[in-house]
Amino acid sequence: MAEISFQDISFSYEGSETETIKDFRLTIENGKILSLLGKSGSGKTTLLKIMAGLLSPQRGHLFFDRGEVTQLAAKKRDIAQVFQFPVLYESMNVEDNIMFPLRVKKLPEIEARQRFEKVCSLLELNPILKSQSKDLSLYQRQIVSIARAFIRPNLKAVFLDEPLTALSPKLKWQLRKKIKMLQREDGVTMVYVTHDQTEALSFADKVGIIDAGALVQLDEPKTIYERPLTTFVGDFIGNPGMNFLPAEAFNTQSDSPKKANKIGFRAEWAEFVEIGEGGLSGKVVSFEADRTRDHEPHGTASIRSDWGQMRVKGSYQKSVGKTVGVRLNNQLFFDSNNTLINEDG
């Protein structure tokens, strides 16, 4: 278990002009789960490889607790990683696969056995212990590689690189639960890379949003959703993403800060009203119902207004093509750099 901190780390791949990671700073608290969330190509997997010691940064320093590990070999870092597609030693059976890291480290047999049994019972692996790797399903293979990661004692951290991508939603949910259980057992620091926001938001203590090799926001999942620091985060997180309209659309509202350039609001922060009542109005282009509440269809409407497109969640019973009024119950202000304006100061 360790706190991991990046100090101004930069990295570029051989032969590449642009830096994949630029002056990256981040501290991951000891014993917590951090999700790194970003689009593909944003550099999140590269960050993971730098932490694991599989890539070595050109500039900057990496610390585990107080000790610098920037140039330390991967095998000396006491960390484990689970890869996107399960990696097993094909010629070994399940038990030998899981025990392999302990045997390499020459852990005393009794202690090794104890850890082995604990991990196997948590992951319900006992029925397949003697199976050959090649006979396992994808899901089973990934569980085994997770077991091989968590079985190791005194781990500084465990890294997971989109380990659930290839699985069906139901299996994803099961495996996520198991990973969380294992993490709690030892309280090991965990970094979880994904491009699936539901996964990141429901799973982690903190979420780091990565874009173009830089950390855009690091916060608890709720804060990320409710107070995105930039319009990028607002748009990227949530389904649908946050609505942004130019500030002039709201010039009637007296409480908007002077430098406000855009106003952002989530689809559920707005409601339908009569035209003229809310200050905004537009034509409903489409409506997607997801359930019925009090005999009224409830869902998300796409609205085209004079100021641009927006999406609003609520009950809507008129037909598509009508013009409606929209009122905001909550909103955020962003300046001309697309950065959140803090209303408190």
Partner 1 sequence: MINSIDNRSSKVAQTVLAIYCVYLAFPLYWLLAISVQQNADITGAFSILPQEPSLENFMELWTNPVWSRSFINSLTYVAINTILSISLALPAAYAFSRYQFLGDRQLFFWLLTNRMAPPAVFLLPFFQLYSAFGLFDTPLAVGLAHCLFTIPMAVWILEGFMSSIPKDLDEMAKVDGHSFGFFFFRIFIPANWGGIGVTIFFCFMFSWVELLIARTLTGVEAKPIVVTMTRTISASGIDWGVLAAAGVVTIIPGLILVWFVRKRLIQGFALGRVK
Partner 2 sequence: MDNRVKDNRAWLGVLPVLLIVAFSGVIPLMTVVNYSFQDILDFDNRFFVGFQWYSQTLNDPRFITAFARQLLFTASILAIEIPLGIMVAKGMPRQGKKATAILLFLAVPLLIPSNVVGTIWQLFARPDIGLMGVSLNYLGWNFNYTASASQAWFTLLAMDIWHWTSLVALLSYSGLRSIPDPYYQAAELDGASHWQTFRWVELPKLKSVLIIATLLRLMDSFMIYTEPLVLTGGGPGSSTTFLSQHLATMAVGQFDLGPAAAFSVIYFLFILLFCWFFYTIVMSESD
In the complex, the residues that contact partner 2 under the rule CB under 8 A are 52, 54, 74-75, 79-81, 83-85, 87, 89-92, 100-101, 104-105, 145, 148
* Token couple for 45: 């997997």
Give CA angle at 234 (212, 164), nearest 5°.
65
Total of chain residues touching partner 1, rule CB under 8 A? 9
DSSP class of 77: S
CA distance 140 to 22: 37
Other Cβ atoms less than 10 A from the Cβ of 154: the count is 9
Quote the strand ranges of 182-246, DSSP E.
Answer: 189-194, 206-211, 214-219, 243-246
Beta bridge partners of 315: 298
Which residue, 164 or 301, has its beta carbon nearer to partner 2? 164
Least distance from C-beta 27 to partner 1, angstroms? Answer: 24
Count how many residues are written for the chain: 345
User: Would the CA dihedral through 18, 85, 166, 118 be positive or negative?
Assistant: negative
* Token couple for 320: 């598509």
Q: Which option in partner 2, partner 1, none does residue 58 bind, with CB closer than 5 to 8 A by kind?
A: partner 1
Half-sphere exposure of residue 73: CA atoms within 13 angstroms, side-chain side: 2
Q: Which option in partner 1, partner 2, none does residue 63 bind, with CB closer than 5 to 8 A by kind?
A: none
Which residue, 90 or 294, has its beta carbon nearer to partner 2? 90
Confirm or reject binding of residue 56 to partner 1 (CB under 8 A): yes
Residue among 32, 33, 39 at smallest CA distance from 237: 39
Q: Which option in partner 2, partner 1, none does residue 104 bind, with CB closer than 5 to 8 A by kind?
A: partner 2
Q: Which stretch binds partner 1 (CB under 8 A): 47-55, 100-108, 113-121, 227-235?
A: 47-55
Q: Which option in partner 2, partner 1, none does residue 105 bind, with CB closer than 5 to 8 A by kind?
A: partner 2
Which one among 8, 13, 323, 339 touches partner 1, defined by CB under 8 A?
13
φ, ψ dihedrals at 287, nearest 5°: -140, 130
Confirm or reject binding of residue 17 to partner 1 (CB under 8 A): no
Q: Which stretch binds partner 1 (CB under 8 A): 53-61, 274-282, 294-302, 313-321?
A: 53-61
Q: Which option in partner 1, partner 2, none does residue 89 bind, with CB closer than 5 to 8 A by kind?
A: partner 2
Q: What is the binding site for partner 1 (CB under 8 A)? A: 13-14, 53-56, 58, 73-74
